[in-house]
Amino acid sequence: MKRPALLLTLALASVLSLPSTSHARKPNIVFILADDLGYAELGCYGQKWIKTPHIDRLAAEGVKFTDHYSGQAVCAPCRCVLMTGKHPGHAAIRDNGDPGGPEAKVHPFPGQNPLPDEEVTIAEILKEQGYVTAAIGKWGLGHYGTSGAPDKQGFDLFFGYNCQRHAHNHFPKFLWRNGQMIPQPGNTRELDGAIHSQDAFTAEALTFVRENKDEPFFLYLPYAIPHLSIQTTNRWLDMYKDEIPEEDHEHRGYLKHPFPRAGYAAMVTMMDDSVGQVVGLIDELGLRDDTLIVFTSDNGPTYDRLGGSDSDFFASAGGLRGLKGSLYEGGIRVPMVARWPGEIKAGTVSGFPSAFWDWKPTLAAVAGAPAPEGVDGISLLAALKGDGDPPAREFLYWEFPGYGGQQVVRRGEWKAVRQNLRRTKPGAPIKTELYHLETDRAESNDVAAEHPEVVAELEAIMAREHTPNPKFPLLPGERRGK
């Protein structure tokens, strides 16, 4: 059961609280999440090859953050952090994985570990404020029949891939709509098909906006691209086939595309066009000033040459160290732009350090809801609007049991990194690296030996913020349990 007392408290408090803006209606919220899009894969972040005019326009008409971070370095846990407002040391889901047991046998694509019932998501808070809610794209937080199903976590409508592995092909045989399998005729999960999932998501999103234009809505668009496999349609592929040089490579994993670099660029531009269609409809319906639109990515770009991808060629991480799966900057620092005419000044840039666990309190504030309890984030409204100083931020913390086990703290311009925690024997010393991001954004010069006092302070934050979770053991000696 959800915590009815908490939800009732939020509802009563919202009656007494004033909306965060002067708008006559509560503002609509559109939150768009790309999948594996690197920090520098948008034109507004310096990309040279890939065209993203619609997202670039959002940045020009709003704000661009330079120091925004995902909730985690891979898919499912970052979505958990986003929905619940808890950093990875407190989050219920801290790595990818399936639940196992009978739930895993319901379907060939069983979905990932489910969000626990007691978690209160962004969508649930917004529903209490009278919002109509939809999630269209890739879920990854629990299949139907579990506590993590979208309809159990505040969404009136879900359409898309429930399971992340199902989303590894963009021409699926079916998609889910509110627990029903919707066939996609002409698709066979091969390289090409009749209905690209991105086009299906866009059509569903446009219908949702049209049907709910007269009431406040929360549209969460966790897209499945540019996550591999590389698959697009000729309209977008033809834009790049003669423009981007290809190179022989040894293909590893996923489906093989004959024009991998052009195909990858085409996927990103295809996604950008979807963003343009959604934004264009909002403007056409006269909802421009009443809608906050956020665009970001779930983690850094994928591993080089996997599935034909080429993060080196596109300079996808923008000179940052690491890729997806790494807690170095390239794995977790992500693009983020937001537009809200009349509230966010056009053409602004913010260097305020922020992360996915800030979105729950931020969107609650946008909707005029009271600040949610039990979260690690802070409201970014002041940073988004450029209104005075944002709330003080002591630190940002990540932990990740995957890829050997990692821990990270950023405090100001200092960043401490620990690696290979799961491979360190109990009682053995754990190495902590230290980087000064202001002068070394590529994290190439470990200065831990020169600043032992800073290392000790950041190690203390790591020790304090790590709450052991038996499903996701992190430190040496911690064991996996139920």
163 pairs with which residues across the strands?
A: none
Which CATH number describes the domain made up of 4-16+25-385?
3.40.720.10
What tens digit of pLDDT does each residue of 177-197 get? 999 999 999 999 999 999 999
Centre a 10 Å sphere on the Cβ of residue 277 and count the other Cβ atoms it contains. Answer: 16
Q: Of 178, 220, 176, nearest to 200 (Cα)?
A: 176
Please list the pLDDT of the chain residue by residue as tens digits (482 residues): 454 444 444 444 444 343 444 457 899 999 999 999 999 999 999 999 999 999 999 999 999 999 999 999 999 999 999 999 999 999 999 999 988 766 566 677 888 999 999 999 999 999 999 999 999 999 999 999 999 999 999 999 999 999 999 999 999 999 999 999 999 999 999 999 999 999 999 999 999 999 999 999 999 999 999 999 999 999 999 999 999 999 998 899 999 999 999 999 999 999 999 999 999 999 999 999 999 999 999 999 998 889 999 999 999 999 999 999 999 999 999 999 999 999 999 999 999 999 999 999 999 999 999 999 999 999 999 999 998 777 889 999 999 999 999 999 999 999 999 999 999 999 899 999 999 999 999 999 999 999 999 999 999 999 999 999 999 999 999 988 87
Specify the CATH number for 396-465; select among 3.20.20.410, 3.40.50.300, 3.30.1120.10, 1.25.60.10: 3.30.1120.10
Output DSSP code: residue 356.
G
CA distance linking residue 429 with residue 9, whole number of Å: 47
* Main-chain dihedrals φ then ψ at residue 152, nearest 5 degrees: -90, -5
CA distance linking residue 346 with residue 62, whole number of Å: 4
Q: Of 229, 215, 208, nearest to 158 (Cα)?
A: 208
What tens digit of pLDDT does each residue of 242-261 get? 999 999 988 999 999 999 99
What tens digit of pLDDT does each residue of 194-203 get? 999 999 999 9
Model-wide pTM > 0.85: yes
Domain residue extents for the chain: 4-16+25-385, 396-465
Where does residue 22 rank: exposed (0-12), middle (13-18), buried (19+ CB within 10 A)? exposed
Instruction: Check residue 25 and give its pLDDT.
Output: 85
CA distance linking residue 238 with residue 225, whole number of Å: 18
Longest dimension (CA), the chain: 63
CB distance 136 to 274 below 8 Å = no
The angle formed by the CA atoms of residues 258, 260 and 262, to the nearest 5 degrees, is: 105
Instruction: Check residue 103 and give its pLDDT.
Output: 55
Instruction: Check residue 11 and give its pLDDT.
Output: 44
Q: Where does 193-347 show beta strands of DSSP type E?
A: 217-222, 291-297, 333-339
Instruction: Check residue 23 and give its pLDDT.
Output: 52
Instruction: Check residue 105 and give its pLDDT.
Output: 63
Long-range contacts of 406-413 (CB under 8 A, 24+ apart): 406/73, 406/326, 406/327, 407/327, 407/462, 407/466, 407/474, 408/327, 408/332, 409/458, 409/461, 409/462, 409/465, 410/69, 410/353, 410/437, 411/457, 411/458, 411/461, 413/437, 413/438, 413/439
Output DSSP code: residue 314.
T
